[in-house]
Amino acid sequence: MTYDELEQTFQAQAGLQTLDATDKFFFLSSLNLHAKDAWHRAKWPELLSVTEHNVSSSGGFTNITSSITGDVLAVYDKNPWVDISANTINYTLMGDKIALQPRYPNSSVFILEKTAFVPYTDSSTNIPEFLEAYLASAILSSFFRGDGNYEKAGVEEQRSEEFLLRQIDRVERTQNQNAPLVGTYYTNSQSRQIFQTT
């Protein structure tokens, strides 16, 4: 969705013909505030991706050679979306680089990452559509609050939270359908039974 489309949705809900320069500034500030909040409230499938990265070893350390731009959720030895035998790898995140365990045997890793939030501008064309109802309602709530209309702001804030919770519920219901299958290994544990004799 584009910035202009969201702005038109907001204008229709607010009953405004146009937005003046102050309103536009407030709209953009509120958009970024609420979008960033929603961004981190769930692992939105629309924002997740698995990318392959090459690794190199030097001085006893194994590092990923490229920079990471998103939020790292997991690192795998194989692509977990296509290979059921993929295993998670321990890693340490250092800035925009990842260090792996020493002597990692493969030449690449697969990183499950969430797209990093980048503030929107009035020319943005990549606002997630699944957040449209939440964002329009949350911005309207902030708009009412800025005008001192706290009662309307409270009602609209509850509506916006309901819109967001519906989307979070959608994600939770579909989570198992979208989750990668990752191999796990179970160790045999021995248990002892203690018998008391008298």
The model carries a pTM of 0.75
Calculate the average pLDDT of the chain.
Answer: 87
pLDDT at 31 > cutoff 70: yes
Share of the chain above pLDDT 90, in %: 63
* Token reading at 175: 């989570």
Residue with tokens 């009412």: 144
Q: How far apart (Å, rounded) are the C-alpha atoms in residues 78 and 68?
A: 18
Q: How far apart (Å, rounded) are the C-alpha atoms in residues 51 and 56?
A: 17
Q: pLDDT by residue (tens digit) across 77-89?
A: 999 989 999 999 9
The pLDDT assigned to 144 comes to 95
Average pLDDT on 139-152 reads 95
Other CB atoms within 10 A of residue 162 CB:
12
Whether the CB-CB separation of 91 and 75 falls below 8 Å is answered with: yes
CA 107 to chain centre: 28
The pLDDT assigned to 148 comes to 94
The pLDDT assigned to 187 comes to 45
Decide: helix, strand or coil at residue 40. Answer: coil
Q: pLDDT by residue (tens digit) across 32-72?
A: 999 999 999 988 999 999 999 999 887 767 888 888 888 89
* Token reading at 56: 């190199």
The partner residues of 113 in beta bridges, in order of sequence, read 49, 72
The pLDDT assigned to 133 comes to 95
Q: How far apart (Å, rounded) are the C-alpha atoms in residues 80 and 111?
A: 9
Q: pLDDT by residue (tens digit) across 164-177?
A: 999 999 988 886 55
The pLDDT assigned to 180 comes to 54
pLDDT at 191 > cutoff 50: no
pLDDT confidence band for 147 (50 / 70 / 90): very high
Q: How far apart (Å, rounded) are the C-alpha atoms in residues 24 and 19?
A: 6
Decide: helix, strand or coil at residue 56. Answer: strand
Residue with tokens 């990452």: 113
Average pLDDT on 117-141 reads 96
* Token reading at 109: 């890793």
